[in-house]
């Protein structure tokens, strides 16, 4: 029987498989990666930053890997690799995180000085001290095994020096020690399109100035070398150990086993991001296993198919028994968060052919929330970064304006801060004026789900009113005991006032005036 992932990739991801095969053959060898390793290889062929992995670095390190294997013998080499597998998995995950930050940096449209302040310096430092450093640590582990002596180096500079002495220059020469020194000790001066790094070597102080363009280029060169290190290990693994052997290895840490479980549940575009477990509050004699997936805007039917197949595979692999639960959640740009929670016995029965997917869905409808794909033509990037600016004048400030619209109702929530003393009558007029301002704001909708949007007036506004703009949690509570809380107000053009706060409403004084509902703090003294 074919693995459901192979069937899925053949029928639903055939274009992506073709891309992988073409790129893999062109860049590495004539071998096509086996099913379990495909999701890992795919990231290095299509992701915007990972696909630029350094070819020379890859070939160099792969050669070094086989030299180390020859020195130790294959069995001892594999044991060392598996004992330190967490360094590889950390490197892989950290590269993906850094990649997201580089992508955000490239989307930023501010000036160059602000770009390097907000993004580049932090990325440079974190890249070196996470993914890149873990790549070096993993190599050093094998020299420790060869020498029968711990060779670990605690910090980055000794790691680089250790491998430089062993002719790893193509990997170790990509970062500048003076710049690393300056960043570590806060010695950076920003100057428009350049950065000046102030560093010390022993008792001697020095300066080094580089352009922001060169600094961003340096980041990408380090990233490409780190990517090539990671990819070389994936290539070695797929040629030398199966996922079944990885699953059954006694040398892997629990963290590494979870990583293997995640990859074994992933396809090229349907990625398992997280696996964990909790004891449900409603049933403390059972355990709930949570599987979190990202996907490329799959339909509800497709999500249910892959979710149930993945959960079944997980239950069988882990030999779970009836009485526990599997919670599967789905995230994608063009759908709201979706999930289902199903008892393990249904997956066990499905694996035995005693029940089908439609019957599982029918039995568990009450424990499912599955949103439709938003088919609007939208820009995910614009939607991610869109915000509504604060409104300030002498009387009040309107902050935290948020679009909370539904498919057929345009709604806003916001916070109003009173900027000057006022009577209760004056405060009401101030609130009404502020809400009229909010009503007129154009909203733009969301990538993940359809809502009413455009330049039409808002149907509902939910406004919380405070005396001062305070960040402390207790000063933000909608409670009669909070002397900073004045009231919350709901405007509704239809006078139905659907938004309720059942925890605090009984303790507040409610009154309605036309389209406005005021919920006053009974202890607030108007002045």
Query: Using an 8 Å Cβ cutoff, are 172 and 164 in contact?
Result: yes
Instruction: Give the pLDDT score at 26.
Output: 78
pLDDT digits (tens, 9 = 90+) for 16-51: 999 888 888 777 777 777 889 999 999 999 999 999
Instruction: Give the pLDDT score at 491.
Output: 98
Cα–Cα separations (whole angstroms), residue 147 to 143, 152, 159, 508 = 6, 12, 16, 73
Instruction: Give the pLDDT score at 527.
Output: 53
The 10 Å Cβ neighbour count of residue 477 is 13
Q: What is the DSSP letter of 476?
A: G
How far is Cα 188 from Cα 35, in angstroms, rounded to an integer? 47
The token pair at 498 is: 């659907």
Q: What is the DSSP letter of 236?
A: H
Helix then strand then coil, % of the chain, to nearest 5? 50, 20, 30
Q: Are strands 460-466 and 411-418 parallel, antiparallel or unpaired?
A: parallel
- DSSP line for 262-306: HHHT--SSSEEEEEEEE--TT-TTS-EEEEEEE-SS--HHHHHHH
Query: Using an 8 Å Cβ cutoff, are 365 and 339 in contact?
Result: no
Instruction: Give the pLDDT score at 155.
Output: 93
* E-only strand ranges, 393-459: 396-403, 411-418
The 10 Å Cβ neighbour count of residue 104 is 15
Q: Which residues contact 31 (CB under 8 A, 6 or more apart)?
A: 24, 239
- Domain residues of the chain, as ranges? 4-248, 269-369, 386-520
Give the pLDDT of the chain (527 residues) as one tens digit per residue. 468 999 999 999 999 999 888 888 777 777 777 889 999 999 999 999 999 999 999 999 999 999 999 999 999 999 999 999 999 999 999 999 999 999 999 998 889 999 999 999 999 999 999 999 999 999 999 999 999 999 999 999 999 999 999 999 999 999 988 898 888 887 899 999 999 999 887 777 888 999 999 999 999 999 999 999 999 999 999 999 998 899 899 999 999 999 999 999 999 999 999 999 999 888 888 999 999 999 999 999 999 999 999 999 999 999 999 999 999 999 999 999 999 999 999 999 999 999 999 999 999 999 999 999 998 888 888 878 888 999 999 999 999 999 999 999 999 999 999 998 889 999 999 999 999 999 999 999 999 999 999 999 999 999 999 999 998 889 999 999 999 999 999 999 999 999 999 999 999 999 999 999 999 999 987 65
SS3 395: coil
SS3 148: coil
Dihedral through CA 168, CA 169, CA 175, CA 177, nearest 10? 100
Instruction: Give the pLDDT score at 1.
Output: 42
Candidates 210, 125, 138; CA nearest to 171 is: 138
| pTM of this structure | 0.89
């Amino acid at each position: 029987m074919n693995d459901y992932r192979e069937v899925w990739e053949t029928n639903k991801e055939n274009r992506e498989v073709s891309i992988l095969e073409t790129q893999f053959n062109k860049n590495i060898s004539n071998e096509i990666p086996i099913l379990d390793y495909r999701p890992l290889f795919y990231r290095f062929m299509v992701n915007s930053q990972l696909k630029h992995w350094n070819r020379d670095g890859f070939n160099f390190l792969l050669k070094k890997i086989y030299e180390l294997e020859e020195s130790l013998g294959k069995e001892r080499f594999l044991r060392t690799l598996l004992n330190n597998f967490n360094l590889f998995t950390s490197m892989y995950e950290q590269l993906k995180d850094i990649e997201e930050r580089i992508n955000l940096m490239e989307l930023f449209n501010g000036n160059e000085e602000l770009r390097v302040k907000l993004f580049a310096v932090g990325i440079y430092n974190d890249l070196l001290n996470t993914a890149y450093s873990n790549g070096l640590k993993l190599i050093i582990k094998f020299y420790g095994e060869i020498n029968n002596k711990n060779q670990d180096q605690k910090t980055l500079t000794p790691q680089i020096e250790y491998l430089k002495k062993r002719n790893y220059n193509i990997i170790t020469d990509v970062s500048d020690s003076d710049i690393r020194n300056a960043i570590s000790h806060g010695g950076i001066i920003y100057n428009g399109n350049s950065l000046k790094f102030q560093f010390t070597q022993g008792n001697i102080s020095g300066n080094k100035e580089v352009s922001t363009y060169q600094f961003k280029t340096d980041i990408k060169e380090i990233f490409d070398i780190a990517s090539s290190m990671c990819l070389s290990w994936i290539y070695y693994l797929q040629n030398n150990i199966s996922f079944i052997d990885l699953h059954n290895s006694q040398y892997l840490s629990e963290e590494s086993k979870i990583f293997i479980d995640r990859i074994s549940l992933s396809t090229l575009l349907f990625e398992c991001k997280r696996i964990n477990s909790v004891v449900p509050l409603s049933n403390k004699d059972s355990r709930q296993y949570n599987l979190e997936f990202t996907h490329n805007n799959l339909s509800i039917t497709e999500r249910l198919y892959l979710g149930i197949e993945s959960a079944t595979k997980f239950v069988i692999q882990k030999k779970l028994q009836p009485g526990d639960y599997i919670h599967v959640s789905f995230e994608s740009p063009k759908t709201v968060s979706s999930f289902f929670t199903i008892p393990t016995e249904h997956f066990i029965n499905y694996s035995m052919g005693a029940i089908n997917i439609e019957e599982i869905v029918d039995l568990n409808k009450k424990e499912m929330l599955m949103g439709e794909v938003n088919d609007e033509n939208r820009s995910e990037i614009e939607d991610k970064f869109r915000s509504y600016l604060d409104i300030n004048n002498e009387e009040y400030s309107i902050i935290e304006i948020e679009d909370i619209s539904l498919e057929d109702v345009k709604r806003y929530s916001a916070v109003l801060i009173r900027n000057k003393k006022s009577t209760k009558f004056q405060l009401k007029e101030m609130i009404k004026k502020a809400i009229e301002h909010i009503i007129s704001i154009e909203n733009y909708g969301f990538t993940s789900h359809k809502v009413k949007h455009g330049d039409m007036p808002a149907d509902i506004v939910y406004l919380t009113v405070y005396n001062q703009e305070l960040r402390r949690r207790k000063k933000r509570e909608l409670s009669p005991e909070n002397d900073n809380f004045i009231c919350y107000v709901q405007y509704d053009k239809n006078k139905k006032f659907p938004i309720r706060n059942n925890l605090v409403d009984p303790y507040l004084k409610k009154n309605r005036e036309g389209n406005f509902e005021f919920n006053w703090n009974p202890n607030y003294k108007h002045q």
